[in-house]
Chain A
Amino acid sequence: MIDIIHTGPFNTVQDLGRPGFRNIGVTTSGAMDPLALKIGNSMLGNETGAAAIEIQIYPFKLRFSKATAFVVTGADCGASLDGRTVQPWCALSVEAGQVLELGQPRVGTRAYICIAGGIDVAPVMGSRSTSLRGAFGGREGRHLITGDTLQTGEVSSPLDLPATGLSVVDPAYALADFYPAHEDGALVIRAIPAGEYGLFGTDAERFWSQAWKISTQSDRTGYRLTGEPIKPTTPVEMRSHGVVSGVVQVPPSGEPIIQMADANTAGGYPKIAGVIEADLWRLGQARIGSRLRFVRVTHAEAAGIERAVAGFIDDVGRTSRMVCRALQTMN
């Protein structure tokens, strides 16, 4: 069990989301950085999709009311346990009563506190993710507030963590071969041209060539980008159709919107591109006010990156268990 001692708004319980209900208009929700969630859970011996706390407003403080193990993944936000520095991506055992505190992030925007056994709120429609728009899931369909108590699940095969903790290399470095470096300070996001790409004529080139700024009107629902507008050569009134997170739509203003985890499930604005699945987590860590650039890739390239990332997550789970077992034998 954990007690929330301090939180700002918009910090929520999230797992990998609620797929399968877009056909009745229910957004998937889920962690904005699913990679951080999966790795955090793998390091604790949890199911990769166990629920965690997603922090996007700082500072955040909680108390563990019983002994357990945890890891903070995602944004590096100078975490401390009873005042002592906790490295990100390092799983640690804690005693009852210890206090974990997260400060303003130095790198990234969203941190995940994963706990052995996962956060045990009641699943709604197959997921523990909070749907703020729908006001269900997570903790009573709302963001966390100071004074909340959260239960944690049973751990079927707990890891015997070494006293100094168990670390993995930040995936930003570990997977560097598969993720391009920033270009002129802009995050490089890979995308595939979508259905209405051809309607943008010569403006389409500008979609790729300019660096777009993530506007202040950006949140878990979507990122509004600002830059030199791009417009279709003829206006289109589309029939409403299903969309997924990562779709880049262009409303009449000509400034694109990227739909994110809490996105509408349907839309009618022309789509110029779609961000590849393996790059969504990087968007989830991008800061408001920062810039990004889109780069075209093929499905084959996207599939290759996806396999590499999946392999890395598997490795973390397997290796964590092996290392813990080996260290126990040595003791």
Chain B
Amino acid sequence: MIKRTLAWALLALSTCALAHHSVSNFDFDKETSISGKVTYFSFTNPHSFIDMEAVDAQGATSAWKVFATSKVVLQRYGWTPSSVKAGDTISVTGHPDKLKPREMYLTKIRFADGTEWLRKSIDN
């Protein structure tokens, strides 16, 4: 417990422009894109996330977790709780996690209805 409490001190390092909590586990120098079917959408604070079954060019599937910013911010920039639903076919681009090969931080999404949303539309 003491160790844990001390560990939180590290947060002093991670006050960054990208989120109110650390997203330092993602590699912001790289981008990756996948397409597939949504299995679960969590429209939540402090993070939102999409679980999806990605299908690659050879037709092989793999389970991905795609993080996005909080629902409060997404809501302000056009999302609704039903922007993404289980069963939707979507395409996403994001910064991959440095350690976990099938996690990323969303920068671009094409929703099931064909419309696109870019993270850079968050204009602060």
A, B bound:
no
